[in-house]
Amino acid sequence: MRTIDFSPLYRSFIGSDYLASQVDKAGRSAQQTDAPPYNIELLGEDKYRISMAVAGFSRDALNIEVKENTLSVEAKKSDTEKSEERKFLHKGIAERNFERKFQLGDHVNVVGADLKDGLLHIDLERVIPESEKPQQIAIN
């Protein structure tokens, strides 16, 4: 994989250090595995939903955490579930532990999460504070 040097951006443009660090962070997160599959839906102007296929995992095995604009979804099978001796003729369901991270934009909050029919749905909403919304300035 190629690495890109963003140092010219840091010294050429004022305020681009945040942008460059976000691009750099996105490059590192691209190294994640493809499991489990997921969808990202636009439900409304500022409402989103992430749906992940988590077949075989219970609510207790799933952990959802938000820290510093990063949404992390982790699933771990307990040791008692792993120790069951089973013989497969075909094994197409991975049932392996995973961790998937999503980079959230500014002012995007997790509204809730729901597990239904083997799909984990995480609802997100972007709430822009009044102080950051565009304002009309009257000309005297």
Q: Which mean pLDDT values do the consecutive 10-residue runs of the chain (140 residues) have?
A: 60 50 59 79 92 91 92 84 75 84 90 94 91 86
Q: How far apart are CA 69 and CA 67, in angstroms?
A: 6
Residue 78, pLDDT score: 73
* The amino acid at 23: V
How many Cβ atoms sit within 10 Å of the Cβ of residue 138?
4
pTM of the model: 0.69
The CATH number covering residue 118 comes to 2.60.40.790
3-state secondary structure at position 47: strand
Within a domain: 66: yes
Within a domain: 137: no
Residue 1, pLDDT score: 53
Q: Are residues 87 and 101 in the same domain?
A: yes
**How distant is the alpha carbon of residue 83 from its chain centre?**
30
Within a domain: 136: no
- Most distant CA pair in the chain: distance in Å? 81
Residues of the domain holding 72? 34-130
Q: Are residues 52 and 112 in the same domain?
A: yes
Q: Are residues 83 and 108 in the same domain?
A: yes
User: In 7-102, which ranges are continuous DSSP H helix?
Assistant: 7-12, 16-29, 79-82
Q: Are residues 42 and 101 in the same domain?
A: yes
Count of domains in the chain? 2
Q: Are residues 21 and 45 in the same domain?
A: no
Residue 31, pLDDT score: 57
